[in-house]
Amino acid sequence: MLVTLNDVMMIAEQQGIAIGAFNTPNLESLRAAIESAEELERPVIVQHCQMHEELIPLDIIGPIMLDHAARASVPVCVHLDHGEDLDYLKRALDMGFTSVMYDGSVHPYEENLATTKKAVELAEKYGANVEAELGSMGKREFGSGKPGEEDDQKIYTDPDMAKEFVEQTGIDALACSFGTTHGIYLTEPKLNFDIVSGVREKTEGVPVVMHGGSGVSKEDFHKAIKAGVRKINYFTYMDKTGGTATEEYVESVEKGKPVFYSSARAAAFAAMKENVKEAIKTFSMID
């Protein structure tokens, strides 16, 4: 069933868990997310990221996401991830997305604040919720750099600034920077859970969103959830799992025999589904 971000955040808060939010730039990843959630009887969030427009346009994947969500046996929020401008947010809202993220973290604080306010005003007209970001997780999607190098793009979230930001914008969830990185981890992440608990305390319990979750240990996920994380974005390692399964399928084909695209897709789907199920179990605090 199609629900809002606030609906699934309420479940997360009541149960002291986090809801998995999976980017779905293809049918295989979308099915992996929803079918895994259905089998585990857990709510889930499926997302389209604006920077994935080159992989598949919103106009194509959006209606498919909404259709699958509406037919699902569990609560499914359809969310726009890392929306970079209000026009793109409006396109998703017009389509029926129940939640959008405006990411103004690359802009000066005052500009981020002002545009986020406009995003909230826009979403309210559709009965949709808004996530925003304060701070910066640095490298995006697939990572860059070399092991041992510091990510100088990271800007950690200030709990006092978060309090002002949440109060002035009226957002429903806040993506915080507390040591995670978008993309492939080149070194073991050093997470500052005090930032999460500080933001929760200062904002009187706004749901904290964890971006850059792929590659974090199960133990650290649990620590983050206990500190107040209620939504965890997950894509890169799921996507990598699908890629590895595709590679293994191709290598298994006898030399001279045809490699079938449909078989590669089936292998990727099966691998991603298992990866997603493990992620949902971790986020649901299921041992």
Cα–Cα distance, 63 to 281 (Å, whole number): 28
Of 244, 226, 134, nearest to 184 by C-alpha is: 244
Cα–Cα distance, 34 to 27 (Å, whole number): 11
Cα–Cα distance, 265 to 32 (Å, whole number): 12
Report yes or no: 241 and 32 within 8 Å, Cβ to Cβ: no
Q: Identify each DSSP E strand in 14-128 by its residue range.
A: 19-23, 44-49, 76-83, 99-102
Report yes or no: 231 and 18 within 8 Å, Cβ to Cβ: yes
| H or E element, residue 218 | helix 218-227
Tokens representing residue 143 in the block: 């990572």
Which sequence positions are flagged as catalytic? 81
Q: Roughly what angle, to the nearest 10 degrees, separates helices 236-252 and 261-283?
A: 140
What DSSP assignment string belongs to 30-68? HHHHHHHHHHHT--EEEEEEGGGTTTS-HHHHHHHHHHH
Tokens representing residue 80 in the block: 């726009």
Cα–Cα distance, 104 to 239 (Å, whole number): 25
